[in-house]
């Protein structure tokens, strides 16, 4: 434990990790009246939670692993979350082209069962089986908002135009898009508004039990300032670093661990004109998605590869880029090459190590373990997927209820995140209202602000009556007004935080424009520029 560091207040919960699980738990706990502190060594959603495939979905392929509980929970959550955040999540239709060469991942229970009962299938997915799986997907979670599965004739439907002529039939089903890193920052903001202390760029240096309390040494990674806080409970939600925290920081002797699986994505120039996503099945038994992205692009992913060291930054390798290009090119009429790629990203999924034989087969379910043999409890969070983050948070609080008498009831189901207090089908009306009140904004700017901030866009723009009132312009519709909002309300500290995690304007801004934004933010942090001078 650090010597000479100032000892801070006592919290009910100290959470390590500012990803979706940590921020989701912070919001839930603060809303129940617990005092909460959260420390993230980098930016919110810096790692896994900003590198997902951006989907709220049940996990159609998990049916082949018979993970019915996980799929059902995720499907129920899908519509709950859609209602609570209609600005950053919206329905999408997914087109699943069918070909006779569609194959199972041979490592799944469903594949082994079918091979035993129907060996003549030789690992292929027959159309009737896909249709049954989609029927189950439609009904397992009690779908109420999203439309059901339908069948498309690709020879006449517009969804068939970008595809090779050999695909004549497709199934179309529903899932949802989500702005993953914005989901994290909005959970953190809501937690802070309910009393939680959110500390970014703050590293947990050491922990020790002191009777019924934890003492936690923290370092501000920008200033080097040290402090010690106390907590009645420690929560390890460090994602890919959960094992390192367990053994290197908390010094617990445990067999529990994570399996780190790298998922890489490529972003290409726009491949087709409609707004639907393609669910593509490979001859190797894997699946990928091709998704409309940021208006002018297409997102393709993901891969599954073991990633042994969390300290090694994940990158989309040349081999993974080629794999995704070749996979998608087996479907689209126009081949996709690395020359079409405008950006890549990669994240590490911290999956619970269940001994699966392959990265693809490793469970996406979450596991929560409480250890209290030495006094004050620690809860370790293994695995999980973005769609079930809210349920994970509820389960975490249920695990800790014995240590907090009178803990409030579950409350987050259906409660809107900041800016999400409008109907699921109310985006267009909100855009029209924003355009009417701020007529100097162009259509792209209006649409982007509503999708990012929902009703908070009005508070952000305030009394502005011209574009100049928004302050300095940095390019691609990013202004000082918006940057100040993100610094003041969503914990942004650098230009990278803004252009790659609070949004994706990095796809549209030049390096010079991003540098200009970075310089402005540094000056504002150093001098606290008043609003009128921004």
Q: Which of 34, 47, 46, 38 is nearest to 16 (CA)?
A: 38
The span from the CA of 204 to the CA of 200, in Å, is: 11
- Asked whether 251 and 48 are in contact (CB, 8 A), the reply is no
Residues 346, 372 within the same domain: no
pTM, to two decimals:
0.92
- Regarding whether 145 and 93 lie in a shared domain, the answer is yes
- pLDDT at position 121, please? 44
Question: Number of structural domains, the chain?
Answer: 3
pLDDT of residue 8: 79
Task: Assess if residue 413 is contained within a domain.
Answer: no
CATH number of the domain where residue 473 is located: 1.10.8.870
Same domain, 519 and 436: yes
Q: What is the pLDDT of residue 7?
A: 74
Tokens of 415: 């409660």
Q: Is residue 57 part of a domain?
A: no
User: Are residue 296 and residue 393 in the same domain, yes or no?
Assistant: no
Residues 169, 291 share a domain: yes
- Give the pLDDT score at 442: 98
Same domain, 346 and 447: no
Q: How far apart are the first and last CA of the chain?
A: 42
**Residue 101 confidence (pLDDT):** 57
Full domain range(s) for residue 455: 427-533
Considering the domain architecture, whether residues 253 and 264 belong to the same structural domain is answered as no
CATH number, residue 293: 3.30.9.10
Residues 126, 162, single domain; the answer is yes
User: Is residue 446 domain-shared with residue 309, that is, in the same domain?
Assistant: no
Kindly give, in sequence order, each residue whose CB lies less than 8 Å from that of residue 238, ignoring residues fewer than 6 positions away.
16, 17, 22, 244, 245
Same domain, 312 and 436: no
Residues 315 and 263 in one domain: yes
d(CA 127, CA 138): 16
DSSP, residue by residue, 431-446: HHHHHHH-TTS-HHHH
CATH number at residue 376: 3.50.50.60
Q: What is the pLDDT along the chain (534 residues), one digit of tens a residue?
A: 555 556 778 999 999 999 999 999 999 999 999 999 999 999 999 999 999 999 999 888 788 777 888 889 999 999 999 999 999 999 999 999 997 555 555 555 555 544 444 443 445 667 888 888 899 999 998 888 899 999 999 999 999 999 999 999 999 999 999 999 999 999 999 999 999 999 999 999 999 999 999 999 999 999 999 999 999 999 999 999 999 999 899 988 777 778 899 999 999 999 999 999 999 998 777 899 999 999 999 999 999 899 988 889 999 999 999 999 999 999 999 999 999 999 999 999 888 876 665 666 566 678 999 999 879 999 999 988 899 999 999 999 999 999 999 899 999 998 999 999 999 999 999 999 999 999 999 999 999 999 999 999 999 999 999 999 999 999 999 999 999 999 999 999 999 999 999 999 999 999 999 999 999 999 999 986 655 444
pLDDT for 120 equals 38
Residue with tokens 């792209």: 444
**DSSP assignment of 48-90:** GGGSS--EE---GGGGGGT-HHHHHHHHHHHHHHHHH-TTTEE
CA–CA separation, 24 and 211 (whole Å): 28
Do 111 and 36 share a structural domain?
no
Neighbouring C-beta atoms of residue 424, cutoff 10 Å:
16
For residue 532, the model assigns a pLDDT of: 42
State how far the Cα of 267 lies from the Cα of 272, in Å rounded to an integer. 13
pLDDT (tens digit, 9 = 90+) per residue, 107-139?
Answer: 555 555 444 444 434 456 678 888 888 999 999
- Tell me if 388 is assigned to some domain: yes
């Amino acid at each position: 434990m650090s010597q000479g560091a100032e000892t801070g207040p006592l919290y009910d919960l100290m959470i390590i990790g500012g990803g979706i699980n940590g921020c989701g738990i912070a919001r839930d706990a603060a809303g129940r009246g617990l005092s909460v502190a959260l420390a993230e060594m980098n930016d919110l959603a810096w790692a896994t939670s900003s590198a997902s495939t951006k989907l709220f979905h049940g996990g159609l392929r998990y049916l082949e692993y018979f993970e019915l509980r996980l799929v059902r929970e995720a499907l129920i959550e899908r519509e709950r979350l859609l209602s609570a955040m209609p600005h950053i999540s919206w329905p999408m239709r997914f087109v699943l082209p069918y070909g006779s060469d569609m194959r199972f991942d041979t490592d799944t229970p469903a594949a082994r069962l079918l091979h035993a009962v129907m060996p003549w299938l030789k690992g292929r997915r027959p159309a009737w089986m896909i249709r049954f799986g989609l029927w189950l997907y439609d009904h397992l979670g009690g779908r109420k908002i999203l439309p059901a599965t339908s069948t498309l004739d690709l020879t006449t439907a517009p969804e068939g135009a970008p595809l090779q002529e050999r695909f004549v039939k497709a199934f179309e089903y529903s899932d949802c898009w989500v702005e993953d890193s914005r989901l994290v920052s909005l959970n953190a903001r809501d937690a802070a508004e309910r009393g939680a202390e959110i500390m970014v760029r703050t590293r947990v240096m050491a922990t020790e039990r002191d009777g019924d309390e934890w003492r936690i040494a923290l370092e501000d990674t920008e200033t080097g300032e040290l402090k010690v806080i106390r907590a009645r409970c420690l929560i390890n939600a460090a994602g890919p670093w959960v094992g390192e925290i367990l053994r290197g920081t908390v010094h617990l002797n445990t067999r529990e661990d994570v399996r780190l699986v790298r998922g890489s994505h490529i972003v290409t120039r726009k491949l087709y004109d409609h707004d639907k996503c393609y669910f593509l099945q490979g001859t190797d038994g894997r699946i990928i998605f091709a998704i409309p992205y940021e208006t002018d692009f297409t997102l393709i992913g993901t891969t599954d590869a073991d990633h042994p060291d969390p300290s090694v930054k994940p990158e989309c390798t040349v081999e993974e880029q080629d794999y995704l290009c070749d996979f998608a090119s087996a479907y689209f009429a126009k081949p996709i090459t690395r020359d079409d790629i405008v950006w890549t990203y990669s994240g590490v999924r911290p999956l619970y190590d269940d001994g699966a034989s392959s990265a693809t087969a490793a469970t996406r379910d979450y596991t929560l373990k409480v250890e209290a043999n030495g006094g004050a409890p620690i809860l370790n969070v293994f695995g999980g997927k973005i769609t079930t983050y809210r349920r994970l948070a509820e389960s975490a609080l249920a695990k800790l209820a014995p240590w907090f008498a009178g803990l409030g009831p579950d409350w987050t189901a259906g409660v809107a995140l900041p800016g999400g207090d409008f109907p699921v089908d109310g985006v267009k009306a909100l855009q029209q209202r924003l355009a009417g009140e701020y007529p100097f904004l162009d259509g792209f700017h209006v649409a982007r602000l509503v999708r990012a901030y929902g009703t908070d866009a009005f508070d952000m723009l305030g009394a502005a009556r011209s574009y100049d009132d928004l302050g300095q312009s940095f390019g691609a519709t990013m202004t000082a007004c918006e940057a100040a909002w993100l610094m003041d309300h969503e914990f942004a500290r650098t230009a990278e935080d803004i252009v790659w995690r609070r949004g994706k304007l990095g796809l549209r801004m030049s390096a010079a424009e991003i540098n200009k934004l970075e310089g402005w933010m540094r000056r504002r942090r150093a001098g606290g520029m008043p609003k009128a001078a921004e």
